[in-house]
């Protein structure tokens, strides 16, 4: 199937509101939308101390940014009401599994109440289009299935998964109550895999942890080396969200299609953590760093996770573009560029262009 880039043209001059604009995926999305000529409105908390991507891409100068907490309905509603965006991409979340264990209130508060606030504000202000990002971890994973499709049972055995499954339930309930009557879909929820790429410095995520170890020439300590994950470059799910967003805005999807979408990699990219770490280490060119395994029984983490992407393939004509080597190389090149003090806009522009041309 040939990749179709026509969806990208739809974003020129549109007002697009992105929640989570100061985070890893949100910053990449805002930057890409800026390149496409959208008027981008960002909503998020101030970047955390070690979060570099929002500032590195100089997004404060490129988008209109609001630093607010989406748990506060009054504040988020005021922004949505006054900005009246053409479409909202909702990515804001407490996104770290280990933090969900130490800070459940913030996790459930942001991921469930914050997400409900977005849906409610959309409804009250008659904003037409929404792409609502949750996670592959929203599926009930008892370790017995090797792949999840959109109609599979939701559920979570840990706080993060449970918060994302709950966010999906709230979405389904809003869809059924207020949006299903329309002939065409105008809102969709999106579930992506383990996203990697340049600029992520979040603690307790595999790639940032490995990059920090490689930079400091320190041993790499893995919690769960044999867990299988659906690895994908950040541009892959973002292209899925943009493609879905365009179809929603143009009312190209009938509402008898269920409104949830998996945007994972091909099965060949579903690899064990240890394999990815070895590829990163080899790609970085530093074989002296050792990879160690330290068991953590602190919280439940599922062993196997992969996503069935047939639906996005069929209905949106969306498919992953980068192979695993390109995904790893893109990631390493970006970090190396950043750590050597280069302007990372250059490598970001290059990678987006390469991705579109692929």
What's the closest the beta carbon of residue 42 comes to ligand NAD, in angstroms?
8
Partnered with residue 304 across adjacent β-strands are: 228
Residue whose CB is less far from ligand NAD, 38 or 135? 135
Q: ∠ CA(235), CA(193), CA(11), 5° rounding?
A: 35
Who contacts 82 (Cβ-Cβ below 8 Å, separation ≥6)?
none
Residue whose CB is less far from ligand NAD, 11 or 108? 108
Label residue 142 exposed, middle or buried (CB < 10 Å: 0-12, 13-18, 19+).
exposed
Residue whose CB is less far from ligand NAD, 92 or 244? 92
What's the closest the beta carbon of residue 330 comes to ligand NAD, in angstroms?
15
Residue whose CB is less far from ligand NAD, 134 or 319? 134
Count of all residues that appear for the chain in the document: 358
User: Following DSSP, what letter does each residue of 252-267 receive, concatenated?
Assistant: -SBTTS-SEEEE---G
Contacts with ligand NAD, residue ranges (CB under 6 A): 20-26, 44-45, 69-71, 91-95, 110, 114, 133, 135-136, 192, 194-195, 202
**Of the candidates 76, 33, 23, the residue with the CA atom closest to the CA atom of residue 238:** 33
Residue whose CB is less far from ligand NAD, 251 or 311? 311
Pairwise CA distance, residues 136 & 262, whole Å:
8
Give the number of other Cβ atoms within 10 Å of residue 82's Cβ: 9
Residue whose CB is less far from ligand NAD, 160 or 355? 160
What's the closest the beta carbon of residue 23 comes to ligand NAD, in angstroms?
2
User: Following DSSP, what letter does each residue of 238-301 receive, concatenated?
Assistant: HHHHHHHHHHHHTT-SBTTS-SEEEE---GGGEEEHHHHHHHHHHHHT-TTS-EEE----SS--
What's the closest the beta carbon of residue 162 comes to ligand NAD, in angstroms?
13
Contact 116, 178 (CB under 8 A): no
What's the closest the beta carbon of residue 287 comes to ligand NAD, in angstroms?
27
Tracing tokens 């990059």 back to the chain, one arrives at 211
- Helix, coil or strand: residue 45: coil
What's the closest the beta carbon of residue 253 comes to ligand NAD, in angstroms?
22
What's the closest the beta carbon of residue 255 comes to ligand NAD, in angstroms?
24
Residue whose CB is less far from ligand NAD, 12 or 81? 81
Residue whose CB is less far from ligand NAD, 6 or 82? 82
What's the closest the beta carbon of residue 101 comes to ligand NAD, in angstroms?
15
Assigned token pair, 167: 């966010």
Partnered with residue 64 across adjacent β-strands are: 41
Q: Which residue is nearest to ligand NAD (CB)?
A: 23
């Amino acid at each position: 199937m040939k990749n179709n880039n026509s969806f990208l043209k739809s974003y020129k001059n549109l007002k697009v509101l992105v929640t989570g604009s100061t985070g890893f995926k949100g910053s990449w999305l805002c930057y890409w939308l800026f390149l496409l000529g959208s008027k981008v409105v960002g909503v998020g908390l101030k970047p955390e101390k070690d979060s570099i991507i929002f500032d590195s891409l100089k997004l404060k100068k490129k988008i209109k940014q609001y630093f607010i907490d989406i748990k506060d309905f009054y504040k988020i509603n005021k922004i949505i009401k006054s900005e009246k965006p053409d479409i909202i991409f909702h990515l804001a979340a407490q996104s770290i599994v280990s933090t969900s264990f130490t800070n459940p209130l913030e996790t459930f508060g942001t991921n469930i109440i914050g997400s409900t606030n977005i849906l409610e504000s959309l409804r009250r202000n008659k904003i037409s289009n929404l792409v609502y990002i949750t996670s592959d971890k929203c599926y009930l994973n008892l370790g017995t299935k090797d792949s999840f499709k959109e109609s599979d049972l939701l559920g979570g055995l840990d706080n993060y998964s449970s918060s994302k499954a709950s966010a999906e339930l709230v979405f389904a309930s809003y869809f059924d109550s207020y949006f299903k009557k329309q002939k065409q879909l105008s809102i969709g929820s999106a579930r992506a895999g383990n996203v990697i790429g340049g600029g992520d410095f979040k603690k307790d995520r595999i790639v940032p942890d490995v990059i920090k170890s490689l930079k400091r020439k320190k041993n790499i300590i893995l919690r769960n080396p044999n867990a299988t994950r659906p690895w994908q470059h950040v541009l892959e799910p973002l292209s899925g969200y943009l493609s879905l967003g365009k179809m929603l805005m143009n009312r190209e999807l009938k509402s008898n299609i269920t409104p949830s979408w998996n945007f994972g990699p091909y099965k060949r990219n579903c690899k064990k953590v240890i394999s990815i770490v070895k590829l990163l280490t080899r790609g970085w060119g530093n074989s002296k760093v050792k990879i160690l395994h330290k068991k953590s029984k602190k919280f439940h983490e599922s062993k196997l996770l992969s996503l069935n992407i047939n639906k996005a393939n069929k209905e949106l004509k969306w498919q992953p573009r980068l192979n695993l080597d390109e995904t790893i190389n893109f990631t390493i090149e970006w970090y190396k560029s950043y750590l050597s003090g280069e302007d990372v806009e250059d490598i970001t522009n290059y990678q987006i262009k390469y991705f579109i041309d692929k």
